[in-house]
Amino acid sequence: MNSEEYLQHREGLTTSHHDWSMIQVGKLVEGQTVVKVIDPNSYKGLTLVLPLPTCHSDANSSVEDACEVLLKHGISSAPVYDAQRNTYTGMFDYSDMMSYILLSLKKMDVPAEDQTIGMRELIERTNNSQNVPVKMISVAVMDPTGNLIGILSQSFVLDYLANHLSEFPQLQPVMQQSVEQLGLSGSKVLSVNGEAQVLDALLLMSKHSVTSLAVLDEQGVLLGNISMTDIQHIMKDLRSSWLWLSCFKFISNIRRKRGVETGEDQYPVMDVNLKSTFGYTIAKLQATKVHRLWVANDSGLVEGVVSLTDVFRVLSSLLDS
Please choose, out of 14-22, 52-60, 96-104, 251-259, the segment that lies near other proteins by the rule CB under 8 A: 251-259
Identify residues 189-248 at the interface with other proteins (CB under 8 A). 224
Calculate the alpha carbon distances from 228 to 33, 78, 203 in Å: 25, 15, 11
* Dihedral sign, Cα of residue 121, residue 233, residue 229, residue 206: positive
The closest alpha carbon to 133, from 92, 102, 101, belongs to: 92
Please choose, out of 58-66, 76-84, 96-104, 254-262, the segment that lies near other proteins by the rule CB under 8 A: 254-262
Please choose, out of 69-77, 98-106, 112-120, 250-258, the segment that lies near other proteins by the rule CB under 8 A: 250-258
Residue closer to other proteins by CB (options 63, 71) is 71
Using the 8-state DSSP alphabet, how is residue 78 labeled?
E
The three-state secondary structure class of 93 is: strand
Identify residues 258-297 at the interface with other proteins (CB under 8 A). 259-260, 263-271, 283-284, 286-290
**Cβ proximity of 175 and 284 under 8 Å:** no
Residue closer to other proteins by CB (options 79, 224) is 224
Residue closer to other proteins by CB (options 142, 175) is 175
Q: How far apart are CA 50 and CA 38, in angstroms?
A: 10
Number of other residues whose CB lies within 10 A of the CB of residue 132: 15
Q: C-beta of 202: minimal distance to other proteins in Å?
A: 19
Number of other residues whose CB lies within 10 A of the CB of residue 114: 14
Q: C-beta of 30: minimal distance to other proteins in Å?
A: 22
Q: C-beta of 314: minimal distance to other proteins in Å?
A: 19
Residue closer to other proteins by CB (options 133, 259) is 259
The closest alpha carbon to 115, from 259, 239, 276, belongs to: 239
The residues binding other proteins (CB under 8 A) are 224, 252-253, 255-257, 259-260, 263-271, 283-284, 286-290
